Amino acid sequence: MFENLSERLGGVFDRLTKQGALSEDDVKTALREVRVALLEADVSLPVARDFVKKIQDQATGQAVTKSVTPGQQVVKIVHDALIDVLQGEGEPGALKVDNPPAPILMVGLQGSGKTTTTGKLAKRLKEKDGKRVLMASLDVYRPAAMDQLAVLGAQIGVDTLPIVPGQKPVDIAKRAKQQATMGGYDVYMLDTAGRLHIDEVLMDEVEQVRNVVNPRETLLVVDGLTGQVAVEVAEEFDAKVGISGVVLTRMDGDGRGGAALSMRAVTGKPIKYVGLGEKMDALETFEPERIAGRILGMGDIVALVEKAQETIEAEQAERMMKRFQKGQFNMNDLKMQLEQMLKMGGMEGIMGMMPGMGKMAKQVQEAGFDDSILKRQIALIQSMTKKERANPQLLQASRKKRIAAGAGMEVSDLNKLLKMHRQMADMMKKMGKMGKGGMLKQAMK
């Protein structure tokens, strides 16, 4: 049985007291456990080793979020790094099937789920993308395999190339290409023969077929439960025929999906889909988040850390609100508010969001009030010293002159800003008095 990683790490970190940041020793201890967990999840040793080394630096010194343990924090860092490795380029699941008829070559060992996956993908292309698909089996060694594809085709309503006994794989491929072109198909899928082990004859055959049809996609189907073997298979197929992506099957099983990580790390090829059962619709786009959670066996921790980070932001807002209620609203607060307004799309954006304010937003704009005013106001505040920002009442004539000049503006501009600040401070105070459920609290939500 797997001891899940959070339990392992929990044990390690219970002994440690809470500190502000992760120390190098904390991280080292935690990563030892992470490495064991990766190996248990079937990640290959060199990949696990490299991966752990890479995040060592990343994690050390990172601030520990309040209300989670250092162990949980490390798990979150590991989780994010896993997603980073697992994520391929481009949109997951996207296949190059433009320029009809687009050939898709399906390769892999016997029993990996190649024929099943061919059917699943054809169904998906037909139903999700509205493509006309033709399937052809090149498995001349097992007539049963050809029949299997024909049966699947009938079941999902996708055409299969008529079987001509005695034809060679390359000739079947040529016939499929011809039929797809003449029949106006968008895609034709070639289900190649598999062997129990990789051998030269099989590879040569796949290579010949590849040269004839020049596939837009060459998808390797591998059994996700076979771990290290899956990675070796991927390396060999890629070296010999060049693959464009991987489909991991049997991800509905007990395996923990470590093969996905090794596969990405070793071949660099994107995992496009995962097979999740025997039925024709049990195929899903590969989602790095899900696999990462599974490899670590702990999706809940990640959610917890995210929640804790949100809580901290909420706590900051709460503290600010308490100060406002006491009438403490200085220039730093005003600056934050102005910056927030800019972020939310400026005056116009904010008013546009409030019911009934759309018209007013237009008037404001026509009156010449635009975002550049917000920016100028922020510049004025930036031109103040720390002391002045905290105590705006310090601002007498000479200081005002210096500040305005520093921001390239007139003293009258600064006076307008100060007036606005006074009005806002008054308003904050009044709203604060309305109590905990008051307007300010509503407004901060």
Q: Which residues are annotated as a binding site for GTP?
A: 108-115, 191-195, 249-252
- As a whole number of angstroms, the distance between CA 377 and CA 334 comes to 10
State the DSSP code for 393.
G
Please report, for residues 61, 317, 400, 424, the alpha-carbon distance to residue 440 in angstroms, rounded to integers and kept in the order given.
37, 11, 31, 12
- As a whole number of angstroms, the distance between CA 326 and CA 434 comes to 12
- As a whole number of angstroms, the distance between CA 123 and CA 295 comes to 29
Nearer to ligand GDP, 233 or 331 (CB): 233
Q: How far is the CB of 152 from ligand GDP (least distance, A)?
A: 9
Tokens (6 digits) for 338 = 């102005």
Nearer to ligand GDP, 70 or 92 (CB): 92
Alpha helices in 15-86 (DSSP H): 24-40, 45-59, 70-86
Q: How far is the CB of 110 from ligand GDP (least distance, A)?
A: 5
SS (H, E, C) 323-341: HHHCCCCCHHHHHHHHHHH
- Identify the burial level of 46 via C-beta atoms within 10 angstroms of its C-beta, where 0-12 means exposed, 13-18 middle and 19 or more buried: exposed
Nearer to ligand GDP, 69 or 112 (CB): 112
Nearer to ligand GDP, 123 or 400 (CB): 123
Q: How far is the CB of 119 from ligand GDP (least distance, A)?
A: 8
Residues that bind ligand GDP in the complex, under the rule CB under 6 A: 108, 110-116, 194, 249-250, 252, 275-278, 282
- As a whole number of angstroms, the distance between CA 445 and CA 436 comes to 13
Tokens (6 digits) for 52 = 């752990």
Q: How far is the CB of 378 from ligand GDP (least distance, A)?
A: 56
- Give the residue carrying structure tokens 């895609």: 187
Nearer to ligand GDP, 52 or 149 (CB): 149
Q: Are 177 and 143 in contact (CB under 8 A)?
A: no
- As a whole number of angstroms, the distance between CA 121 and CA 105 comes to 12
Q: Is 189 helix (H, G, I), strand (E, B) or coil?
A: strand
Q: How far is the CB of 248 from ligand GDP (least distance, A)?
A: 8
Q: Are 86 and 264 in contact (CB under 8 A)?
A: yes
Nearer to ligand GDP, 231 or 440 (CB): 231
Q: How far is the CB of 194 from ligand GDP (least distance, A)?
A: 5
